[in-house]
Amino acid sequence: MYRLSRRLFLAALAMLAVATTSPSWAADKLKVVTTFSVLGDMAQNVGGEHIALTTLVGPDGDAHVYEPTPTDARALAEADLVIVNGLAFEGWIDRLVKASGYKGTVVVASDGITALKVEDDHDHDHSEAHAESEKDHHHGELDPHAWQDLANGRLYVTNIARALAAADPAHAADYRRRAEAYDGELAALDRDVRARLDAVPADRRKVITSHDAFQYFGRAYGIDFHAPVGLSTESEPSAGEVAALVRQMRDEGIRALFVENITDPRLVQQLAREAGAVVGGTLYSDSLSGPTGPAPTYLDMFRHNVSEIAKAFTN
């Protein structure tokens, strides 16, 4: 992968050499580049019509394993402001910034949050699935998925607003005003989410999910997220692994199962039926959905996830 991205960067540099100005960007707008769709939505909410936004990893993309393209390097080279999540979420961004020749500030949206460590205590069993996801997601020590707590999301917005105001002082008041309005929406949603999930008895708020992105969510809203024991997503399952997962769900009284990346949907249905649990819908963790999907914005993503989880609990 390393070699491939190097080749990509060389291609990017070659393209930069011949690149002319980009006609799609109006000259008077602040050119903002964000790394992934959640940040893009936040920046758009704060920046409004004053910014021209480019998001590198679009809807439904995976920022963990993203391979930057020459177009990305070019967007970065022409940017006035680059916003990243930080916490080593975008492992590829430093090299991309260097390769593109971007000289401005790189704003870290997660500045000032209380970062959680990448969780290890679900590691009952050194299963293949777990080992694999740990390999993928082992960004140093800290869990980067901080936006899964709306309180952190509000902090992101504050950071973004401050950076936009600094980069474009002419519209600073506007950014501040928009950020305040958006912050109000986030705060209101935060209250709604708490009210909705608090209605579920605490001992029923247990979920099995193969996403490892919900640690902040679980901490903030009192949901117990368990990693599935044993079952690997890639290879053919064994009866022993399926049995272990069924036992785990029975023993811990788990009501809901969100494991859409176990590839055989019939196996998941079987598991749920056997353990008396409910198969939940799709949860959005690392990216938003496309505009026609259920989670086109950060607010929608949160509403969608919470309603899927609450639905699974009340069934």
Partner 1 sequence: MDPYAALIQPFVEFEFMRRALVACLALSLGCGPVGVLLVLRRMSLVGDALSHAVLPGAAIGFIIAGLSLVVMSFGGFIAGLAVAVLSGLVARVTPQREDASFAAFYLISLALGVLIVSTRGSNVDLMHVLFGTILAVDDASLQLVVSIATLTLVILAVIGRGLIIECFDPGFLRAVGGPGAALHFAFLMLVVMNLVAGFHALGTLMAVGLMMLPAAAARFWAGQVATLAATSSAIAFAAGYAGLLLSYHASLPSGPAIILIAGGIYIVSVAAGPRGSLRTRFLPRRHLEA
d(CA 19, CA 70): 11
Q: Which of 139, 147, 119 is nearest to 209 (CA)?
A: 119
Residue 230 interacting with partner 1 (CB under 8 A): yes
Q: Which is nearer to partner 1, 136 or 264 (CB)?
A: 264
- From the list 58, 237, 281, 293, which residue makes contact with partner 1 (rule: CB under 8 A)? 237
Query: Shortest gap between Cβ of 250 and partner 1 (angstroms)?
Result: 10
What is the distance between the alpha carbons of residues 295 and 302, in angstroms, rounded to a whole number? 8
Region from 21-29, 139-147, 148-156, 233-241 binding partner 1, contact rule CB under 8 A:
233-241
C-beta of 37: minimal distance to partner 1 in Å? 20
Q: Closest CB to partner 1 among 70 and 230?
A: 230
Residue 106 or 279: which CB sits closer to partner 1? 279
The least distance separating partner 1 from the CB of residue 185, rounded to whole angstroms, comes to 36
User: How far apart, in whole angstroms, are the C-alpha atoms of residue 9 and residue 117?
Assistant: 32
Residue number, 158 or 233, with CB nearest to partner 1: 233
In this structure, the dihedral spanned by the alpha carbons of residues 274, 277, 280 and 283, taken in order and rounded to 10 degrees, is: -110
Tokens describing residue 192: 């709604």
For the bound state, the minimum distance from the C-beta of residue 269 to partner 1, rounded and expressed in Å, comes to 6
Query: Least distance in Å: CB of 125 to partner 1?
Result: 10
- The reply to whether 228 sits near partner 1 by the rule CB under 8 A is no
Q: Please tell me the total number of residues recorded for the chain in this structure.
A: 315
Which helix H or strand E contains 258, and what residues bound it? strand 256-258
Using the CB atoms, write b or e for 88-102: b if 16+ within 10 Å.
Answer: bbbebbebbbebbeb
Size of the site for partner 1 (CB under 8 A): 21
By beta-carbon proximity to partner 1, the closer residue of 269 and 314 is: 269
> How far, in Å, CA of 143 to CA of 110, rounded?
11
CA 193 – CA 43 distance, rounded (Å)? 23
Q: Which amino acid is at 172?
A: A
**Is residue 240 a contact point for partner 1 (CB under 8 A)?**
yes
Q: Which stretch binds partner 1 (CB under 8 A): 47-55, 95-103, 143-151, 241-249?
A: 241-249
Residue 182: φ, ψ to 5°: -65, -40
| Contacts to partner 1 from residues 246-305, by CB under 8 A | 246, 263-267, 269-271, 273-274
Taking the alpha carbons at both ends of the chain, their separation in whole angstroms is 44
Q: Which residues in this chain contact partner 1 in the complex, by CB under 8 A?
A: 230, 235-243, 246, 263-267, 269-271, 273-274
